[in-house]
Structure formats: C-alpha cells, structure tokens
A and B are shown apart, each in its own frame.
Chain A
Amino acid sequence: MELLYALTLGVLTSCGIYLLLRARTFTVILGLTLLSHAVNLYLFASGRLATSAPAIVGFADHSADPLPQALVLTAIVIGFAMTAFVVVLALKAAVELRNDHVDGENPDEDRP
C-alpha cells in the first residue's frame, strides 16, 4: 500500500508542477488543484497508513491518529476556497486583459 500511495503522490505532484509552469491560467489552476490534492494526501499519510483502524479509541484493536484527519479537513476547506477564488480571479483577468496568458500579454500574438 505504501508503494502505491507514494507513487500516487509522486505522479500527482509532478503533474501538478508541470502544469503549474505552463503559460495559460487554466492549466496553472489545474496544476494548483493537483498539487493541493497531493499535499492533502501527504498530510493524511503523516498519521501513518493503516487499514481497518477507526479514528476513535475503543472501536478496534488499533486506532488511527485522528489529528491528521482534522488537519486534512481544514486544508481541504481552505484549498477549496482558494481554488474558487483563483478561478474567479483568472476569469476576471482574462476578461480585462483579453487573453489568458499568466503575464497578461500574449507573446505569440505579436509575431508575424
């Protein structure tokens, strides 16, 4: 399970960073979303991975650490709000600047 988990994190992070370095706002936002998914999974894993271990003491022989789950919930809520904000901002910028380049000007348009 650890290997699968680590591979998922790695793929998510690398895709996120690749998309983040693109020049269009839409791909950048997709990259941010993937990166925040990876980060949330990573936070979750910081309480150690375990199967059939509830986060409440006394329901099973092993109980999982509940704190990372609380942290992840907070991080998900914040990440969701931030993503919503950046989508609206990117739309506003695209309308005002008339292109969706991250620098606000399109270098390709000037070329013959």
Chain B
Amino acid sequence: MTHLMILPILIPLLTGASLLLLYPTPVGVQRLVSIASTVMLTLLGLWAVSTAGSGELTLYHLGDWQAPFGIVLVLDRLSAIMLLLTAGLSLFCVLYASRGIDRQGAHFHALFQFQLAGINGAFLTGDLFNLFVFFEILLIASYALLLHGGGRARSRAGLHYVIINLVSSALFLLALGTLYGLTGTLNMADLALAVAATPAAGQPLLTAASMLLLVVFGIKAAVLPLLFWLPRAYSASSAPVAALFAIMTKVGVYAILRVFLLVFGLGESPANQVAWGWLWPLALLTLGLGGIGALGSASLRTMTAYLVILSVGTLLATISFVTATTLGAALFYLIHSTCMTAVFFLLADLLGQQREQGYDRFSDIAPMGHRWLLGGIFFIAAISMAGLPPFSGFISKLWILQATSGEPQGFWLWGVLLAAALLILVAVSRAGSGWFWRPGKMTAPRPLDRVCVWLVCLMIGVSAGLSALGEPVINYLELTAEQLLVPQAYIDTVLPESARLAREVAP
C-alpha cells in the first residue's frame, strides 16, 4: 500500500491550514507556499497517470480498515486523468492570481487549497458518503472563492449559488439514505453488487434514488433545467476563480460517470438505463441552449459561462451513448474544453484590463491597448474553442462525430453539435471584430502584465500540444473508457473475496 495516494488530499489540506496561520506574513510567502503545493500536486498527478497507466487499480485503505467497512481511495485511469487535469489547471490559476488578484480579498490561497483538497478527494474516493463530504468541502471553499474581491454582483450571484447547492446537498443525503436503507452499504463496489441483487420490490425505490443522484450531479454539472445559477455565478467571479471553476462542472460529469457506470451498471437490466434515457435529450437541449446563450450574451465572461454549459451538454450527450469509443471521445473533449474555457475566463480579464471602458462588455466600443498582441491571442483561442483546425478543439469534435456516426441517434448529435459550433463561431467573430477592428488605438496604452500573457499563451499551447501529441493521449483515453465499462474489475480489486461471496449468498 503506497501512501502517495492520500497526498493529493493531504497536501492541499495541510497547506490550506498552514496558510491560515501564515496570513500575517508577507503575501509573497503565502504565494510561494501555495504555488509549491500546487506544483507538488502536478507532480503527483503525473505519478498518478503513469501508475494508473498499467491498467491496475491502486487502493488505499484509510486507517487500514478493509472495504466495505472502511473508506477506500481508488486510483484508476479516470481518477488519474482528472487529478492531473485539476492540478495543471490550478497551477495556471494560482500563478495568474499571484499577479495581484489574490490581494483583492482575504485568504485567497488558503481557500484555493481547500478547494483543491475537495476536488481531489471527490476524484479519489470509493465511498458514496465520502463523495458527499468531499463535495461539501469543495463547495464551501467555492462559496468563499466566488465572493473573493467583494462587490454587489458577487453577493447576488453568490446567494443563488449557495442556496441551490444547499438544496442539492439535501437531495444528495436523501438519495444516500434511500440507498443505505435498501442495501445497507455505501461503498461503491459493494453497493454495485447489492444494487444488482435488489429484488423486484425494491426496484422503484432504487430508481428513485438513482434519479435523485442524477439531479444532484446534474446541478453540479449544470444540465438544462438545473443550470440557471451558472452564468451569473461564473461571470461574477474573479478571473482565476472562474478559470478554476471550469473544472467544477466536470466534477459533476465525473460523478455521473463513476456512479452510473459502476454503482448502477451491473446486472441483466442495469438500473442506469433510466438515467441514460433522461440524460440524452436533456444534454442535447443543454448543448443547444449553450450555443444560443453564447450568441446572446452581453459580455465575454457571460459568453464563456455559456461555453461551459455548451461543453457540459456536448460531454453528457456523447457519454449517454455508453460505448468505449464515445466515452474516449468525451474524455478528450473534457480535457480540451476545461483548458479552453479557463483560457477564455483569463483572457476576458486580460482584455478587459486593456480596454478604456466597459471592461469585458460587448456593447461598449472602446479603444484597446496592445491590440495586435491580444487580438492574435484571442484569434487563436477562438479558433481552438470553435473547433477549427489545427487545435485540439478540432480533433476532439472530429472524434466525437466519428464515434457517434455509427449510432442510430448520432444524427441528432451531429446536427445540434455542428449548429452550436456555428453559433460559437459567429459569437466569437462578432466579439473579436467589435473589439479589435472598429475602435481606434489607445493613446496611452496601459502596461501589460507579461507573465499573465505568457500564462494564457502557455495554456493555449497545452491545447495545441494535446492535438500534436494526439495519439498517445487518445490511446490512454480509449483504455480509460474500456476500464470504465468493466465495473466487475473495479469491484474485484476493491472488495476482498469474503465480502464478495457474502454479497452473492445473501438473499
């Protein structure tokens, strides 16, 4: 048993706690500690990806209590990818924030680390109640991060965000109570066996619990009827926070993948069929709404928030086909869309600072400093976002289209996805031409923060690298998808044989 597995949770927790004590020290020290912790997380993410690459699952028994009685952490390919993605993204965010935004409010770095602890924990845990606890950790940190910097817009958006998430926590607990009452366990692997063995009398309750979980994860991921909190919350928060939040909706998507492919995925007629049936039309509608919202939004940050919604719609629509190729394509798109929406949130801040008035609003036609440089970056980012060649946006979209071409329902996804891509293209072109072509040159351009520009360029570079190194990444993701579709292997690793046998003998 390697203790490295607990570190992605422990390091940010301890760093966050010590940053609270370090608060009276100069801000430089806090930044250094925070960045050091995030760099360590990135290294751990690389370790996780290479360890999980062998195809074996790595287990960690907390307190050495055996599953299903104790809580286990499980590292498989999907968790490893999510860990690395979170760590990489947060490194960029914390570096960007260290250029000054972290001083706009108190305890930015401590909250940031707590948020990372919650996200990493949610990706690693193999226990459903533990997942709830990590959700709460990441949520309470995100409540405070959302308000970072203060202001009326943030207070208003924050209130909505907090209340809807508290309701979703209540629903999560209701689902957990129902599942525990039915099966007597909350360990995901054990639960999968128990769910598959549920007698017919328990099926309606089981379906109710699974749909409650779908609603909870749908609120996190922002699926259509549950997404109206997102545009306001994301567009009100400060740039590095919004960029980090790009991973938050993906936590919901991860939870859907994990729970509905593992816990409700066993048996002759798996309990997850109802969920996929609901998810497919809702995801398509989400995708369409994202495109329309992006076209109709009044500022770059709101537009990016709708791009987040669009990416969630694309992801879930692709996932609901539940084949190895579509899951692989969806995971590639997940990495790409997380990077690019984060880039857009940072870019909105970078561009907004250089405009004479209006910050990131489209309606103001104001002169802009450093037009050529920023315009060029925006152009490349927009190309990648809209899915034009040669960047990862193109490859991911191509893969999704290819993977769904053989499916009878693929036709619908093709239509909506391509129409939404056209809407994005129109939206970003309109934004770009309005900002960079029409207004004159700024007489005295404001100083441009070179480090921030480099950070954004580097993130776009990562996206380009993803398409250049496409093949190994795609191979890894295809293996991930195959691993996800064989829940039995997960269960065999997590549960000792005695626990499995007990479950099979039980009536």
A89 touches B155 (CB 8 A): yes
B interface, over-half SS = helix
- Does B490 sit at the interface, judged by CB under 8 A? no
Interface residue total, chain B, C-beta cutoff 8 A: 28
Contact of A102 among B133, B147, B160, B173 (CB under 8 A): B160
Contact of B159 among A39, A81, A104 (CB under 8 A): A104
B163 touches A86 (CB 8 A): yes
A50 to chain B, nearest CB (A): 14
A67 to B65 CA separation, bound complex (whole angstroms): 15
Q: How many of chain A's residues touch chain B, expressed as a range?
A: 35 or more
Query: For residue A32, which residues in chain B have a CB less than 8 angstroms away from its CB?
Result: 163, 166-167, 170
- Does B96 sit at the interface, judged by CB under 8 A? no
A6 to chain B, nearest CB (A): 13
A-B Cβ contacts below 8 A, count: 88
B173 touches A85 (CB 8 A): no
B155 touches A82 (CB 8 A): no
B140 touches A85 (CB 8 A): yes
Query: For residue B180, which residues in chain A have a CB less than 8 angstroms away from its CB?
Result: 43, 46-47, 67-68, 71
B170 touches A35 (CB 8 A): yes
- Does A74 sit at the interface, judged by CB under 8 A? yes
Query: For residue A20, which residues in chain B have a CB less than 8 angstroms away from its CB?
Result: 163, 167
A21-44 contacts to B, CB under 8 A, are 25, 28, 32, 35-36, 39-40, 42-43
A77-108 contacts to B, CB under 8 A, are 78-79, 81-82, 85-86, 89-90, 92-93, 96-97, 102-104
- Does A75 sit at the interface, judged by CB under 8 A? yes
- Does B162 sit at the interface, judged by CB under 8 A? yes
B170 touches A93 (CB 8 A): no
B46-101 contacts to A, CB under 8 A, are none
Contact of B152 among A25, A71, A97 (CB under 8 A): A97
- Does B156 sit at the interface, judged by CB under 8 A? yes
- Does B352 sit at the interface, judged by CB under 8 A? no
Contact of B162 among A46, A89, A97 (CB under 8 A): A89
Of the candidates B158, B176, B177, the one having the most CB atoms from chain A within 10 angstroms of its own CB is B177
